[in-house]
Amino acid sequence: MESACIGLNNLPDEILLIIFQKLSNIEVLYSLIGVNKRFNRIAHDSIFTSSLTLMKCLPDESVSPLPYLMLGQLFSKILPEIHEKIKRLNIESFSMQCVLRCANYPNVKELGLYNVDLEIFKQFVTSKIFYLNSQMNIIRLIYIIFSSVYH
């Protein structure tokens, strides 16, 4: 008697997209990029690359950085690979400089900054990295949310 075993690779792309949309975009990118050509193609779809939240949103409405291993993969491989597809980017202060240094984001129209220390933000605004990226259309800071410590 043969067992019927259907793997992810046996499912049509349409079904995989429905399944993957239940995950966060970062989870999809982190889990699928580099697995095989098909999963790479799916992960590069604008559904998963146009809007990225590079932090964990906690139930108490605070945020924290992504796990260190995930951040390393994002900085070294994923963001440089998809940087031109990103239109909205949400980051928190811990990873802000690394995210913005690892690639230029020419199509970003919305940049959300969370838990930003006012002094670090002032240094960042006057730094060369902000100037370079502002020339690449990261000009509209749609919202900046400072942690309650800095109000």
Residue 30 lies in a domain: no
Residue 112 lies in a domain: yes
Total domains, the chain: 1
pTM (two decimals)? 0.75
State yes or no: pLDDT of 92 exceeds 90. Answer: no
Question: pLDDT tens digit string along 67-85?
Answer: 999 999 999 999 999 999 9
> Phi and psi for 35 in degrees, rounded to 5?
-75, -55
Q: Is 4 exposed, middle or buried (CB count within 10 Å of its CB: 0-12, 13-18, 19+)?
A: exposed
Question: pLDDT tens digit string along 5-41?
Answer: 567 788 899 999 999 999 999 999 999 998 899 999 9
More confident residue, 107 or 128: 107
pLDDT band at 1 (very low <50, low <70, confident <90, very high): very low
Residue 64 lies in a domain: yes
Round to whole Å and give the CA distance between 147 and 82: 29
Residue 32 lies in a domain: no
State mean pLDDT over 121-141: 49
Domain range for 87:
50-150
User: Which regions of the chain does DSSP assign to beta strands (E)?
Assistant: 51-54, 56-57, 63-64, 88-92, 110-114, 143-145
**Which residues sit opposite 89 in a β-bridge?**
52, 111
Report whether 52 contacts 84 (CB < 8 A): no
Most confident of 2-6, 91-95, 118-122, 125-129: 91-95
6-41 burial: b if 16+ Cβ within 10 Å, else e: eeeeeeeeeebeeebeeeebbebbbebbeeeeebee
Residue 68 lies in a domain: yes
Residue 1 lies in a domain: no
3-state class (DSSP) for residue 138: coil
